[in-house]
Amino acid sequence: MISHRNIAKLGTIVLVLANLTLPNVTFGQQIPSLRDTFKKDFGIGTALNNAQIDERDPQMTAFIARQFNMATPENVMKSEVVHPKWDTYDFTMGDKLIDFGEKHNIKINGHTLIWHSQLPSFIRGIKSQDSIRTFFTDHIKTVAGHYKDKVYSWDVVNEALNEDGTMRKSVFLQYLGEDFVTEAFRLAQQASPKTELYYNDYNNEQPKKRAGCIELVKKIKAAGVRIDGVGIQGHWHVGKVPLKDIEESILQYAALGVKVMFTELDIEVLPRNFQGADVGQRMVANEQSNPYPTALPDSVQQQLAADYEALFKLFLKHKDKVTRVTFWGVNDANSWLNNWPIRGRTSYPLLFDRKNQPKPAFYSVIGTKK
Ligand code: XIL
């Protein structure tokens, strides 16, 4: 027989259990899912860091799986990580990311095969064209070969252009000449024939750099080599998102017959005296450089929400051309902008705050579908 007292006890137990499951709020089950909201429009991606790939926090894993259907390794597939010595490769973390993707139904965009930054340190000692060519060829063959049929796509070449549209003076340009970009795509295609192949850069929505980027795409195609898409990184600034340049870029890249994607989206709210995302560029800290150490003022929060809303309206307008939108980090705590171009700042560039709680910008993005 169940007495009143027992029923009351039961009630208490139910309440306690309900409260225990309350932390579910932080799992993010109560808020809409970005990947579901935009599932008919474009993929929604995020950059993943070591801790996230390692699944150190189950709540974080569940959150990622619910919000995103595509992911880019923030660092673990860069050459300094996967190719630490001349003839040594280390795919430990990259392989974990592949498992993560399979487990959670998330497509992986490999990032990146050829980039002038985060190169293995042994590169600095190489001074001959032959050796650079050998590194270049072996690297692409081995890494793209290892991830054949495992990654959905590759950022084959990252950031080969200067702001004026000319080629950046990288070790690859210096030793291999301008054709290294086409060669990289040719090698990637051979090593991983079914993988989508992209060129990725920042500021390539700006007219001059865009013109250089268009030339690159044309050159690759003219050589009979496949390129499937152009990635616009999208490291922009609050109140200054270049919507007109972005729209022109979507149209002009798409006119070349390639997909367009936004690959590293974040909107900086902290002071900066230059645009773009040249990782080699740094700023000296001063008293004004970290203005919001505890919270983002409401006016900036609202501007951030308005900027994201305008961007997603534009992406939706061109959803036949835009295939993916990837945020550079899951939440504000993960953002590289806390440490670049000045270390130890407190930035707020993403849709989720430091506890994975949705910011007004999240709701303004979701609202673009209503
Ligand atoms: C950044 C990472 O977020 C940082 O953790 C790392 O220290 C430096 O690189 N353009 C790119 C990305 O293509 O790979 C960069 O990622 C940010 C700029």
pLDDT tens-digit map of 48-83: 999 999 999 999 999 999 999 999 999 999 999 999
Is any ligand 1 atom within 6 A of the Cβ of residue 277? yes
Ligand 1 center to 166 CA (angstroms): 22
Give the DSSP letter of residue 359.
P
Q: Give the atom of ligand 1 at the shortest distance from the alpha carbon of 158.
A: 13
Minimum CA distance residue for ligand 1 atom 10: 277
Residue 29 pLDDT grade (very low, low, confident, very high; cuts 50, 70, 90): confident
Position 16 pLDDT exceeds 60: no
Q: What is the mean pLDDT of residues 219-227?
A: 98
Position 169 pLDDT exceeds 60: yes
Residue closest to 356 by CA, chosen among 24, 131, 21: 24
Residues marked as catalytic: 264
Please report how the helices 207-222 and 243-255 are oriented relative to each other, as an axis angle in degrees rounded to 10: 10
> Could you check whether the bond before residue 341 is cis, i.e. omega within 30 degrees of 0?
yes
Position 18 pLDDT exceeds 90: no
> Could you tell me if 94 and 77 are in contact, meaning their C-beta atoms sit under 8 angstroms apart?
yes
CA 166 to chain centre: 24
Q: Tell me the pairing of strands 259-268 and 229-232.
A: parallel
Residue holding tokens 């090593």?
Answer: 191
C-alpha atoms less than 13 angstroms from C-alpha of 361 in its C-beta half-sphere: 29
Ligand 1 center to 22 CA (angstroms): 35
Exposed, middle or buried by CB within 10 Å (0-12, 13-18, 19+), for 286? exposed
> Phi/psi of residue 257, each to 5°?
85, 25
Q: What is the mean pLDDT of residues 221-231?
A: 98
Q: 63 to each of 26, 66, 216, 309, how far by Cα in Å? A: 8, 5, 38, 22
Q: 326 to each of 220, 272, 348, 354, how far by Cα in Å? A: 25, 23, 16, 18
Torsion from C-alpha of 188, 193, 195, 196, nearest 10 degrees: 80
Two structure tokens written together for 292: 């919001």
Position 15 pLDDT exceeds 50: no
Two structure tokens written together for 236: 């922009």
The whole-model pTM stands at: 0.93
Is any ligand 1 atom within 6 A of the Cβ of residue 74? yes
Q: Tell me the pairing of strands 229-232 and 235-237.
A: unpaired
Three-state secondary-structure class, residue 239: coil
Is any ligand 1 atom within 6 A of the Cβ of residue 50? no
Q: Give the atom of ligand 1 at the shortest distance from the alpha carbon of 202.
A: 10
Average pLDDT, the chain: 94
Position 26 pLDDT exceeds 70: no
Query: Longest C-alpha distance within the chain, in Å?
Result: 88
Distance, in Å, from the CA atom of 233 to the CA atom of 260, rounded to the nearest integer, reads 11
**Which of residues 206 and 25 earns the better pLDDT score?**
206
Minimum CA distance residue for ligand 1 atom 5: 336
Distance, in Å, from the CA atom of 248 to the CA atom of 319, rounded to the nearest integer, reads 14
| pLDDT tens, position by position, 94-136 | 999 999 999 999 999 999 999 999 999 999 999 999 999 999 9
Q: 364 to each of 27, 306, 311, 332, 359, how far by Cα in Å? A: 20, 7, 10, 17, 9
Distance, in Å, from the CA atom of 92 to the CA atom of 104, rounded to the nearest integer, reads 19
| pLDDT tens, position by position, 249-286 | 999 999 999 999 999 999 999 999 999 999 999 999 99
Predicted local confidence at residue 289, as pLDDT = 97
Predicted local confidence at residue 370, as pLDDT = 87
Is any ligand 1 atom within 6 A of the Cβ of residue 75? yes
Separation of first and last alpha carbons in the chain: 52
Position 25 pLDDT exceeds 50: no
Two structure tokens written together for 298: 């409401």
> Could you tell me if 68 and 46 are in contact, meaning their C-beta atoms sit under 8 angstroms apart?
yes
Q: 154 to each of 78, 107, 199, how far by Cα in Å? A: 11, 11, 9
Give the DSSP letter of residue 333.
G
Ligand 1 center to 276 CA (angstroms): 12
